[in-house]
Amino acid sequence: MGLGIVMGVWDHIKNSGKFPTATNWALDWVGMLPGKREARRLVGDHILTQQDLMGLNPEFEDAVCIGGWNLDEHPPTGFEDPELPPYVSIKLPGVYNIPLRSLYSKNIRNLFMAGRNISATHTAFSSTRVMGTCAVEGQAIGTAAALCIQHNLPPRGLYEDKAKLKTLQQTLLRDDQSIRGLKNEDPLDLARKATVTASNERENCQAANVINGWVRALPGYDNQWAAPLGADGAWLELAWDTPQTIRQAHLTFDSGFQRELTLSSSDAANVDIVRAPQPETVKKYSVLYQTEDGEEWTELASVDDNHQRLRRHYFKAVSAKRVRIHVKETNGDPLARIFEARCYV
């Protein structure tokens, strides 16, 4: 039946006379293996429900990733009921968290799940099925699996060991995974103990925002450091009362999350899309440090053509009283913008 529908639609496009631009089109390929989702349902220690996604239940202590797609319910009879709408979409109030307990099996001791086979009801699946959500589930269980191997734990054991569970969540945040309601509380992050100053600050975009633990804009609040680029750029500085041994610097830049990237060819969907490095993202910058008694700044890292949101720099250990991020250029925006700065031994 599916092949008949495909050929019927193609016949209409080519021969109805309603699509003159299709005159020279050719049908190149048709997938011949039909895929039926939800033919099997895997069950975890928690079955994600519509009420979970709509924020009607308490928050998960074991949240490891987010989703946010609408609840898109399709009629099971599909083309056989042409009088029915192709789907009914229920808009969710915001993003929702997905718990670790929905990503491992209830009765198979050593099985993680991610993608279109997580533990969810039919209605919850209508949101979690999309690729972006499947991807962050994969990141969550990949990190969880690594911790299970490291500590010789089964998946459920990682949930039951609350200290290890928090380590999982903080590791995911460090890797720029989004988890609603959780912020950076990594005890190893030396930047959290620093005093932060800057060459300048835009109103409501103070330098101290880079160590407050949040790496996204918050409702009604940009939650980042932002400053105009002067003739010599702009800088952000972390300073400690005593020198710190540092081998790593992690920087999270603004990558224009307010634009919803899409593969759609629709003009309406593409009107605000920038298919290039996002203007807000820092393009050219350097990371420098100063010793306790030194006046000169020594360069630790330099980047000339950045387009990425998260950048990690590794270098030989230094004893730093101050670390400075010197922004020299963005990909077009007049403001230097940084969401977070971290430092590690």
Q: Which two tokens stand for residue 152?
A: 């010789």
Same domain, 139 and 225: no
Q: Which two tokens stand for residue 227?
A: 């400053």
Fill in the amino acid letter for 98: I
Same domain, 308 and 199: yes
Whole-prediction pTM: 0.90
Average pLDDT over residues 263-292: 88
| Whole-angstrom distance, CA of residue 207 vs CA of residue 235 | 10
Same domain, 150 and 246: no
Q: How many domains does the chain have?
A: 3
**Residue 225 — very low, low, confident or very high, per pLDDT cuts 50/70/90?**
very high
Same domain, 207 and 324: yes
Diameter of the chain measured on Cα atoms: 81
Average pLDDT over residues 49-54: 97
Same domain, 228 and 340: yes
Average pLDDT over residues 172-198: 97
Q: Which two tokens stand for residue 222?
A: 């940009």
Q: Whole-number mean pLDDT of the chain? A: 94
Is residue 184 situated within a structural domain? no
Whole domain around residue 217: which residue ranges? 190-344
Span 107-127, pLDDT tens digits: 999 999 999 999 999 999 999
Same domain, 27 and 74: no
Same domain, 111 and 241: no
Is residue 293 situated within a structural domain? yes
Is residue 40 situated within a structural domain? no
For residues 256 and 280, the answer to whether their CB atoms sit within 8 Å is: yes
Q: What is the CATH number of the domain that holds 219?
A: 2.60.120.260
pLDDT of residue 219: 79
Same domain, 195 and 332: yes
Reply yes or no on whether the pLDDT at 320 is more than 80: yes
Closest CA to 97 of 134, 66, 119: 66
| Whole-angstrom distance, CA of residue 198 vs CA of residue 194 | 13
Same domain, 201 and 314: yes
